[in-house]
Amino acid sequence: MDSITSTIVTFVGLGAMGFGMASHLLKMGYHVIGYDVYEPTRLRFLEAGGNMSQSPREAARGAQVLICMVANSQQADSVLFDSGMGAVEVLPLNATIIICSTVPSAYLMEIQSKLESMGRNDIFLVDSPVSGGTVRAAEGTLTILSSATPAALSQSKRILYDLSEKHFVIPGGIGAASNIKMINQLLAGVHIAAASEAMGLAVRMGLNTRRVYEIIVNAAGTSWMFENRVSHMLDNDWTPQSALDIFVKDMGIVTSSARSQGFPLPLSSAAEQLYLSASLCGYGKEDDSGLVRVFTPGAESAVHDGGKKKAPTDDRLTPIVTPNEIKKVGFIGLGAMGIGMATTLVNGGFHVTGYDISPKPVSNFLLSGGKSEAAESPAEAALDADVLIVMVQTASQVEEVLFGSGNAAEKLPSGAVVILTSTVPPSFVQKIGTRLEALEKQLYLVDAPVSGGAAKAAEGLLTIICSATDTAMSKVNPVLLAMSGKPDNIYYAEGGIGAASSIKLINQLLAGVHIMAAAEAMAFGAKLGLDTRSLYEIIKNAAGGSWMFENRVPAMLSADWTPHSMLAIFVKDLGMVLDESKRLGFPAFLTAAAHQMNLMGASHGWAREADGGIVRLWELMTGVSVSKSAKPQDTGFNPREYPTLPLKETIDSLPSEYNGDVLHSIREYISDDKTPLLVILDDDPTGTQTCHDIAVLTVWDVETLQREFDCSEKGFFILTNSRAFPPVEAKKLLEIICQNVQHAAQLAGKEFEIVLRGDSTLRGHFPDEPETVERTLGRDRIDGWILAPFFYQGGRYTINDVHYVAEGDFLIPSGQTQFARDATFGYKSSNLKDYVLEKAGFKFSMGDIFSISLEDIRCGPGIVTEKLLKAPRRSVIIVNAAAESDMYVFAAGILAAEQQGRKYLYRTGAAFVSSRLGIIGIPPLSAESLDMSSNPSGGLIIAGSYVPKTTLQLHSLLRRRASKLDVIELPVSKLIHSSENATEIVNTAIEDASQKLQSGQDVLVMTSRDLVVGDDAISSLSIGGTVAATLVKVMLGIDVRPRYVVAKGGITSSDIATKGLKMKRAMVVGQAAPGVPLWRCDEETSRHRGVPYVVFPGNVGGEDTLAELVESWALPEGR
């Protein structure tokens, strides 16, 4: 394709999205000629600087590219082929037609046939449906799918790239992209309809609709469409960001395509009928979120009005009792979740008496030790209990244990509180409250359904929705906190008893429908001949994504029906939703359809298997297989390979380092008030390894951030620990942090720029994290991405764009190291250009990636600035470096480029941060300089990292300090096997470590060295999370003040700092060894204030570095 300024583009269809797309192309410098049948739109486009024609034929004359963005296939056919008006006949030789409209794939094949019959085989046809809405269309941040011949894709790539944030090339030729778009629209359409049904039911239940929204967006019932569309409902804003009639059309395409293949789509068909009903009511031209009005007839602003109710305050969650004042907690129901909850309470210091109808769970519970004891009956569990928790399966079981043969309510003392954590009907909860009141013993009831599964229950990280009187809430808050881990996991619902269970039912409605929609969509994708694995990867990040889609589809792809959540749960829960809806006279169309499908699944004997196994219904009905349609997970990307190089000879062969004084210019730049403060988002704590005298925050509320902006002169770190989270959670976390940073900076009147400090061996969420930051802060403020993983102290070099890891006397290409085989963040590429394509080939081509070479850098910052200013906007810029001075030269060069208006987003190793801040390294700090002499206790070393270097360092430590070191090994296989095993192991470790530390002996708590991984990246992260949580429990249980704390490994050191030592703001005082950060926290809220805290990366240092540190910091002999 020619240069942008000489490219003539015909754009037909200047509707809501088309106008934004065409206008964006104008801003990018394209010569755009528009056509639309609507006169006001034509005039508006002229005012925006575009050119207009009176017909598609006139607009297309001489155009190299024709983009068709009309409403349907009939309009597209008229634009292209109408006699006397159609565009095809006048298009020049080798022109490109890009169909961006959502049309049936069969129509794309029809276009291809018509072009051939007209003798226009020279025309390049591209099937390229778009999604993202009007705002993203105008910003050029759409998601675009493209399928065509290789030649056609090459012709269209530049312009599609300029219109998109994500561009996926779909194999399979014309029609394949439209089929994937159709699946996306199926999901998006069902999710909007489900959101409408859910919020309509919330109105009928009398709930605070805004509070429902706030809770659901952080729960398993959320989806992209729920989060986006319900906000419009709450604002009563029906401005057509996406007109409802679009889904009348798109759901029609879905269902008619399925009918043509004899494929059943129960949910899609139900959703289509809802859209048709809404359009018949006159809502078709308004926003599709207005579908909710079908569920609130006569009260069109009901969702908006329901959100005006007084919001709950944190006062309700303020305890009036302490854990020590709760003398006994009774616990009834020690099932899969119940035993974890009860054990968590025991670990939190509560005296818990547990009961279950089966003896085995009770025996397992007693293994938790502490203040755990067994009850022979529900009544015995309730006797003298200040708090009674009921965690049984059904409403009838609740009634039986409280008022039937269990007789628990009768045995409760006056003033006791019952916490009902089961998922039961709201009306039933209200009846329980009434019956407790009738006993006239001043008993309280807290309606507190929980979610998170057995794993979160065992970790003490459940999500709890609760409603009750203020007094009841304050009495049990310590108990709820113990089971949830932090206040953010507790959601108060106003409206009295039953409100929390009502919101839980809303969540279950959405979750159940979303699972069924995922199964229906994936099965249809298999029927269409799509690669279901690629379909999943695309949809999970698109508008059709949901929490359940991302969580459940991997099991469908692998045909794994292990019951992490049984299908029977949704048979029960959706049944409850329907019962409650019937009681309220509310029509729940999608819930009813999903429930029927679940009943069918249960009738096939799948009730006690995974709920995602419902996808097998389509296999039985149609013969398709989602798992067999999934291609192997290997992407097929084949990067270039490079040899191992001799370290010394390679470094010696490079050009001489630049010897000018760049530090002075860097410090001049950053002393200028106009230079933005650097906010470093560190995906684990090790990014502080080249800095000193700088703050690191582990919280990111606006008030804290504003204080830091007010007092900081250069910048500060925020520890996100995002590397420990799955992609969806990591992106959500970064979005929240960036929003808060932006708000705090505005309040402080400061400019800032973001550095995403990542792993110098290339592991982490790339490109997800920079994409999230760019999207949250605004794409217009970013001219390019900087990729600079160099880190001298860790032996990470980038030479000729190839990233190396130094091992002994050799440089190993990073793609050949153990880091590249990481179970979660693995990769193949050593060349950073290849790495970008491997991870983000949908977004960038090789032509979008540029390099700042070592030759450039060693000529000085002026050349660096010149190269940066020449790089096209939205490039990825690779930074080569082989010495610390190289990074200072680059920092000076890019600061100069920023002075000329350029703005960048950084994904870097630790070296760039200190260089950009003008920080020069200082020698490692000794025990004497840290004033450890007053502490007679031993030091504590906690090792969770499993990388080979850590294992070597631990072996060295054990060999050199064997007689002076108490070693506690935690067997990972037993930790993840059961919560009972984990509890026993933790309690023993705490007792042993405390005794030895008190006596002055150093203690090593280490995980077993055999790496245990899951079947996929998500499960591997989950195992890592379980191990990290265990190490935190050990740290929390040690009350002896250690001489120092060393945490080995990124995730381990983050969790020990934030959860084990309760740090919120610490100072990086320097390094304990080269590349090994040393923190100190003097905040009053932290544990063991002022104790030196060593953040020891898993892959930094020599074999003896850890041993040498422990030796030098040990208590002197004779003390």
Q: What is the DSSP string of 308-343?
A: -SPPP-GGGGS-SS-GGG---EEEE--STTHHHHHH
Spatial CA neighbour of 219 closest among 539, 507, 577, 564: 507
* Surface-to-core class of residue 1054, CB atoms within 10 Å of its CB (0-12 exposed, 13-18 middle, 19+ buried): buried
Question: For 417, how many CA atoms within 13 A lie in the half-sphere containing its CB?
Answer: 26
Q: Which residue, 183, 287, 276, 281, is CA-closest to 231?
A: 287
User: Helix, strand or coil for residue 969?
Assistant: strand
Q: Is 504 annotated in the active site?
A: yes
Residue type, 362: V
287 Cβ contact partners less than 8 Å away, ≥ 6 residues apart? 229, 232, 237, 238, 239, 240, 241, 242, 243, 244
Q: Is the four-CA dihedral 1051, 1054, 1055, 1060 of positive or negative sign?
A: positive
C-beta of residue 1041 within 8 angstroms of C-beta of residue 1088: yes
Q: With the C-alpha atoms ordered 885, 887, 893, 896, is the resulting torsion angle positive or negative? A: negative
Any idea which residue has 């700090």 for tokens?
925
Strand runs (DSSP E) across 769-867, as ranges? Answer: 784-788, 796-799, 802-807, 810-813, 849-852
Do residues 562 and 610 make contact, with C-beta atoms less than 8 angstroms apart?
Answer: yes
**Cα gap 741→748, rounded to integer Å:** 10
Residue type, 1112: S
What is the Cβ-side half-sphere exposure of residue 179, based on CA atoms within 13 angstroms?
27
Strands 965-970 and 31-35: unpaired
Query: Residue 473 and residue 320: Cα distance in Å, rounded?
Result: 9
* The token pair that represents 188 in the structure block: 């998006």
Task: Say how far apart CA 55 and CA 79 lie, in whole Å.
Answer: 9
Determine if residue 559 is left, alpha or beta; phi over 0 gives left, psi from -120 to 50 gives alpha, anything else beta: left
Radius of gyration for the chain, computed over Cα atoms and rounded to the nearest angstrom: 31
The single-letter DSSP state of residue 830 is S
Catalytic-role residue among 328, 411, 475, 504:
504
Question: For residue 663, which of 488, 916, 839, 429 has the smallest C-alpha distance?
Answer: 916
Q: Token pair for residue 642?
A: 């490079």
How distant, in Å, are the alpha carbons of 806, 815, 947 from that of 822?
A: 18, 11, 9
Reported residue count of the chain is 1119
| Residues 177 and 129: beta-carbon distance below 8 Å | yes
Strand extents, DSSP E, 722-766: 752-757
In 3-state terms, what secondary structure has residue 1100? coil
3-state secondary structure of 1062: coil
Q: Where are the alpha helices (DSSP H) in 765-858?
A: 768-777, 832-840, 854-857
From residue 628, give the alpha-carbon distance in Å to each of 93, 176, 217, 604, 1114.
43, 18, 33, 21, 58
Q: Tokens standing for 82?
A: 């109408």
> In this structure, are residues 334 and 354 in contact, taking their beta carbons and an 8 Å threshold?
yes
Please check whether residue 913 is in contact with residue 680, taking contact to mean a CB–CB distance below 8 angstroms: yes
What are the structure tokens assigned to 544, written together?
Answer: 């059709």
Q: What is the 3-state secondary structure (H, E, C) of 470-531?
A: HHHHHHHHHHHHHHHCCHHHEEECCCCCCHHHHHHHHHHHHHHHHHHHHHHHHHHHHHCCCC
d(CA 564, CA 931): 51
Catalytic positions are 504
